[in-house]
Structures are given as C-alpha cells and as structure tokens.
Amino acid sequence: MLIDTLIQMRKDGARSIIRQDASIALDYITQKYGKEKPTDFLSEDWKGDFKAIRKRLATLIQTRNTMEMKLLIERMNTVITTNKDQSERSQSVQILSEIANYDVKLIDPYEQKYLQLLLSEKDTSIQRQLNELLVRIDPSNYYGDHSKTLEKLNHREKILNVTVKYDFSNDFLRYKVKILNNTNEILWDVNYRLNLYANNFVIRRIYPEFYEIYEGHIIYLSVLRPGDMKEVIISIEPRSPQIYLEGMVNYKKENENDYYAIPAEDLMIDILEHSPKFQNLEKKIGVSHIREYFDFHVKFKSSNVFALPDSISPKLAYTIGKTIIEKLYMILSLDVMDEDPFFGEALFYGKTKKNEETVVILRSSAENKSLEITIGTKNNSHLVAMQINFDSQLRQTITTHPEFSPNDKLIELRCPSCLSSYDKPRDWCPWCGETISPDKLLS
C-alpha cells in the first residue's frame, strides 16, 4: 500500500518537492531490494544452506541453466544487502564470485549495487570480496587492492560522470552506460535517452528490468544521490555492419524544475572489424569432428531464420546462402539436398590463424519456406560479425534478385518476447508460448 502511494506521488505529486521526495523513497527501496515492489523480503536473520546452494550451482553450471542462475544472483544480492550476519553475507558474495567465474556477464548488471555495498560495508574481509567482484566486472576501473579502490572512490572529481562502452553477448551487442554522481547534490528525474536510427539497430532488452522505459529508448533512472552510480545495459541487435550509439543524460537538480543535459561519448562500431580471418585449409576436415566440436565444444551458438517470400524458392535461397558463406573462406564439408520437396543442409568449417574453430550450418526447406543459418564458435565477437555479415549480404542479394518483387519482404523469425529464433512462420513461439504479432517481426 505504501509503495503504491509513493509511485502515485512520484507521478502525480502536486508540487515538485513531493515528486522528488517520493522518487528518493522509491529509489531507496529499489537499491535495497532490486525492484520497487519486492517479492522477496528476506529476514535479516535468514540462514542459508550454502553447501546445498553450491551443489545446486554446480548443476546449473554443468547444464548451462542461466535462467535459474539469475534467480540465485537476485537471492544472494538480497542476502548481502539485508542480512546482519557477516558469515551469511560473505558466503553469498562467494556464490556470486563462483557465478562470475562461469560468466561475468550474469553479474555485470549489478555493478552499481556492489559498488554501493563496498562503500557502506564495515567488514574488511567482505570489502575485499566485493572489490574482487568489481575487478572481475571492470578490471580497468578498480584496483586489486580494495583500499586503493576505496581511496580512488573517495577522491573523485565533483562532477556528474558518464561513461559508455560495449561488448558482445551471444547474438547481440551490449551497450553499457555508467552514470556516477560525484557532486554534493541530489539529482532527480534522471533519464538516459538513446538516439534511434532506422535500419541501424534494434533495442531488444534493457537491464536492470525495474527501470521504467518510455518510447522504447528513454530510460528513467529516478534519483542519483551524492556518490551514487547507476548502470544501464542495453542489449542491441545490429541491423547494419556499422552501428551508431549516441546518448544523453538529462536530470534536474534538487529543488529545481529545469533540466540539465550531459551528452555521452558517441560510439561508432564497425562490427565487420571483428570478423574472423580464416586460413586457406588444404585438408578437408571430417564431418564427425565438425559435429562433435559443434555439439560439445563451442561456447556460443546463434541461429537466424528468414521467412522466404513466395517469389524466392528455398533452393534459390539455399544456393545464395552457400555462395555467401564460401566467400568467407570456409570449407564446405557436407552438402545434402533432396529435390522433391526441396530440403538442403550444408556444413561449413573454418579455422583462424590463431586456430579458433568455427562451424556454420545452413538449412533450407520447402516445408518451412525458410532459410536458417546457425553459427557455433568460442569467440563471441566472431559470431556477431559473421551473423551481421551474412544477414546484410543475404538481404542485398535477395532483394536485388530479378525474381524478388517490390512488395516482398525477407522477414527475420525471432520471437519478440524471448528473442529465440524459430523454424517457420507461425503465430506463436514454440519456445515461450507467447503470441507473435507479425508487425513486431523485423524485415
């Protein structure tokens, strides 16, 4: 009831001071519990069976169950924030460190929380653990010695600091924005606006998920108290070989109604610069080795499926797809085709000069009326670069083909809800079960 009242006051308060105070109160709840309406109020006396938690975590890592790992991270974050027992907090940080060893990107969205905990924590051993966690997330911004990190944090220039950077996360590019309030003032109505450019990129997810989003690209961050740092991670699907990321922080000062603005650094990312450079292999690689490598050894896998218009036959699309992949100097190790009804599957293999292996599987069928490309590799940047390279060349070749009519579309079959690719045009997702609206699909 109190939280609902605060949310209403933040939106509709008669005076700016009421909206400001409500924002501060809600921000405190969000920072402590991870969301405005927390569902997991753990007692400060909560005791956990950490032996069983570690055993479960080992199973999750073995099965790559990141969904349940994310839930475990939220629970451990609550423990280190609210629990009064030093041992419980310490073991929770250890669990988070083990998850970071598996995939640091899973804990990356909580950097601001760990930074605030480091600054408020009194126990030296937990300070060390939290600092180690921050070093894992961003080794360029924190020292190995926690005392040096604290000294740096306590002697920051008294300005609002905005930093941006990017990396790759499976199919997508991750755009990370950090906003640090080093001033002595409370800043409110803080938001980050990312400029959108047609046919350049699509925003797929924004983390943490408790932030309010307006018009799909304005992220409401609420309040920044002195010393606060907030981070936004935007998951972006590239739609062009060159991506332009430009953003702006807008905020109001305490007891003021005028907006101030600070532009973030512009990023121009040439994704094709990350493309793998394959060797010209003289010896053909066995299909059994390629299948085993793809099934058991690759770290990143990505599938893109394209619904074909009636004017483009599955066989024609298959032929075009093979030509594009062979231009990347990949070896065609298997090519299976049935003519009636048409089905084709091609298996490609490539190895870079650093002996990094990549497998590409291309499929097309008359039954599904689609073309599917699946890439498996141990290098995430290679995967994204190859996908955007194939996507752009395929669209260019098919849309300029004499048989392609002006009203035709080459539609990407990716569920807007769970972001999984699926096999053929349909009105529901076979992975999450959600209804798929055709106007939400990209072409």
Structure tokens at 167: 């990396």
Domain count, the chain: 4
Residues 282 and 422 in one domain: yes
Residues 139 and 223 in one domain: no
Residues of the chain with pLDDT under 50: 36
- CATH number of the domain where residue 247 is located: 2.60.40.10
The one-letter amino acid at 36: E
Q: What is the pLDDT of residues 101-139, one digit of tens each?
A: 999 889 888 888 888 888 888 889 989 999 999 999 888
DSSP conformation letters of 35-57: SSS-S----TT----HHHHHHHH
For CA atoms 78, 79, 83, 86, give the dihedral sign: negative
Last residue of a domain, one of 271, 287, 307: 271
Last residue of a domain, one of 125, 154, 183: 154
- CATH number of the domain where residue 373 is located: 3.30.310.10
Q: Residue 138 sits in which domain range?
A: 41-154
What per-residue confidence (pLDDT) applies to 132? 92
What per-residue confidence (pLDDT) applies to 25? 67
Residues 249 and 326 in one domain: no
What per-residue confidence (pLDDT) applies to 269? 94
Residues 330 and 436 in one domain: yes
Q: 234: closest CA among 260, 201, 265, 200?
A: 201
Structure tokens at 229: 């740092």
Residues 262 and 376 in one domain: no
Residues 1 and 107 in one domain: no
What per-residue confidence (pLDDT) applies to 30? 65
Residues 281 and 265 in one domain: no
Last residue of a domain, one of 154, 189, 209: 154
What per-residue confidence (pLDDT) applies to 6? 61
Residues 289 and 180 in one domain: no
Q: Is the separation of the CB atoms in 347 and 323 below 8 Å?
A: no
CB atoms within 10 A of CB 174: 19
Residues 170 and 304 in one domain: no
Residues 11 and 60 in one domain: no
**Which residues, in sequence order, are bridge partners of residue 230?**
179
What per-residue confidence (pLDDT) applies to 64? 83
Residues 82 and 201 in one domain: no
Residues 416 and 287 in one domain: yes
